[in-house]
């Protein structure tokens, strides 16, 4: 049995009361967003920013969030918007406010052409259990591992937690996990030997990258630890490369943190540094009404102004 580390308390942001009250008021006034291509329109970002500028302690809160997501030992944060969700619900007003907050981190965008800006990740009893919409263990991964320009951040907004109390989010510092590997394994993970997934109906994520190296040698703020546990069975790997990836997977599990998102919690993960996944949902999902099962909303973020061969 894996012993879970306690999540660092510094990775959670509880908003000051005066900021919460101001954001609840603004939630009813923010206009609908516009999209240019796959990204939130610049005009929308400017309108949202102008509105949020009046909120007390908002700038300080955003600066704290950026520090959590940036350098060592940062890489993820949970913004607790529970009271705001209680006041506004988790419909359009709440999503506009969440989008406005995320636009201060990076540019919201949706690379999947068939989905709106916020993509629903519901609970599908017919889906493979290990998928994001399944009911089982969703092993560690980064999103869009097989493209040349993955999203810099992935975000998950909890609209409904699992009513059976399970489905904890799991995260692991991928860079730290790599540092604990043997030199032989690290060398093998730099080989262009791994593959997973298809490339279909995507925009603004570069080209298909298949096969790819797990370790690309780029600086941590530009490169990625390209990992998904699903590649262990899908890559047709030789024994040496499979062992190296399995060693990395083991180190990720050994260093994982776990917490259960509640309604209104907004998880932001820096994909250059951390991987994420999910523990199984509670047994007995068939007895839960579909409209009451766990529901997350996902949105991706792209850093503004990145340049260079590893820019994302």
Residue 308 confidence (pLDDT): 41
| Contacts of 309 by beta carbon, 8 Å cutoff, 6+ apart | none
Q: Is residue 295 part of a domain?
A: yes
* In 11-81, alpha helices (H): 17-27, 42-52, 58-69
Confidence at residue 309, expressed as pLDDT on a 0 to 100 scale: 42
- Asked if residue 306 is part of any domain, the answer here is no
What does the alpha-carbon distance between residue 65 and residue 11 come to, in Å, rounded to a whole number? 9
The tens place of each residue's pLDDT in the chain, 312 residues long, gives 333 344 444 599 999 999 999 999 999 999 999 999 999 999 999 999 999 999 999 999 999 999 999 877 789 999 999 999 999 999 999 999 999 999 999 999 999 989 999 999 999 999 999 999 999 999 999 999 999 999 999 999 999 999 999 999 999 999 999 999 999 999 999 999 999 988 999 999 999 999 999 999 999 889 999 999 999 986 689 999 999 999 999 999 999 999 999 999 999 999 999 999 999 999 999 999 999 999 999 999 999 865 444 444
253 token code pair: 């599990």
**Which of 130, 215, 137 has the alpha carbon at shortest distance from 178?**
215
Q: Report the distance separating Cα 154 and Cα 260, nearest Å.
A: 17
pLDDT at 97: 98
In a domain, 307, yes or no: no
Q: What is the pLDDT of residues 168-188, one digit of tens each?
A: 999 999 999 999 999 999 999
Q: What is the pTM of this model?
A: 0.94
Name which of 292, 155, 305 is nearest 222 in CA terms: 305
Beta strand extents in 168-270 (DSSP E only): 169-173, 257-259, 265-270
Residue 63 lies in a domain: yes
Q: Within a domain: residue 6? A: no
108 in a domain, yes or no? yes
Compute how many other C-beta atoms are within 10 angstroms of the C-beta atom of residue 90. Answer: 20
Is 37 inside any structural domain? yes
User: What's the domain count of the chain?
Assistant: 1
Which of helix, strand or coil describes residue 263? Answer: coil
Cβ-proximal residues to 287 (8 Å cutoff; 6+ apart), any chain: none
**Would the CA dihedral through 20, 22, 28, 33 be positive or negative?**
negative
What contacts 259, CB < 8 A, 6 or more positions away? 7, 78, 168, 169
194: its two tokens: 């791994």
pLDDT attached to residue 235:
63
- Describe the chain by its helix, strand, coil percentages, rounded to 5: 30, 20, 50
| pLDDT at 214 (0 to 100) | 98
Which residues lie across from 277 on neighbouring strands? Answer: 170
Q: For residue 271, what is the domain's CATH number?
A: 3.60.130.10
Closest alpha carbon to 101 in 49, 167, 143: 49
d(CA 78, CA 169): 11
pLDDT of residue 305: 66
| pLDDT score at 304 | 85
Let me know if residue 260 belongs to a domain: yes
pLDDT tens figures, 255-298: 999 999 999 999 999 999 999 999 999 999 999 999 999 999 99
For residues 136 and 277, what is the distance between their CA atoms, to the nearest angstrom?
11
Residue 113: exposed, middle, or buried by beta-carbon count in 10 A (0-12, 13-18, 19+)? Answer: exposed
Instruction: Print the domain residue range for 279.
Output: 11-301
Pair type for strands 12-14 and 76-80: parallel
């Amino acid at each position: 049995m894996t012993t879970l580390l306690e999540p660092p308390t510094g990775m959670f942001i509880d908003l000051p009361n005066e900021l919460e009250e101001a954001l609840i008021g603004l939630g009813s006034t923010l206009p609908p967003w516009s999209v240019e291509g796959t990204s939130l329109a610049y005009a929308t970002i400017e309108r949202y920013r102008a509105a949020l500028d009046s909120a007390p302690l908002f700038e300080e809160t955003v600066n704290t969030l950026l520090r959590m997501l940036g350098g060592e030992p940062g890489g993820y944060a949970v913004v607790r918007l529970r009271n705001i969700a209680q006041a506004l619900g988790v419909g359009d007003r709440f999503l506009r406010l969440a989008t406005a907050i995320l636009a201060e981190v990076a540019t919201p965008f949706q690379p999947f052409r068939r989905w709106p800006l916020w993509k629903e990740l519901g609970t599908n009893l017919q889906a493979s259990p290990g998928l994001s919409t399944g009911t089982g263990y969703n092993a560690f991964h980064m999103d869009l591992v097989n493209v040349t320009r993955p999203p810099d951040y992935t975000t998950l907004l909890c609209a409904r937690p699992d009513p059976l109390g399970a489905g904890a989010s799991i995260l692991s510092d991928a860079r730290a996990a790599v540092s604990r590997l043997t030199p032989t394994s690290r060398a093998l993970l730099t080989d262009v030997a791994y593959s997973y997934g298809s490339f279909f109906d995507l925009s603004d994520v570069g080209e298909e990258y298949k096969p790819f190296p797990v370790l690309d040698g780029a600086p941590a703020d530009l490169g990625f630890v390209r990992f998904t546990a699903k590649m262990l069975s899908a890559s047709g790997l030789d024994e040496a490369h499979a062992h190296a990836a399995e060693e990395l997977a083991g180190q990720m599990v050994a260093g994982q943190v776990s917490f259960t998102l509640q309604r209104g919690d907004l998880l932001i993960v820096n994909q250059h540094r951390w991987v994420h996944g999910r523990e199984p949902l509670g047994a007995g999902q068939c007895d839960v009404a579909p409209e009451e099962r766990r529901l997350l909303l996902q949105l991706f973020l792209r850093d503004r102004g990145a340049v260079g061969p590893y820019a994302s």
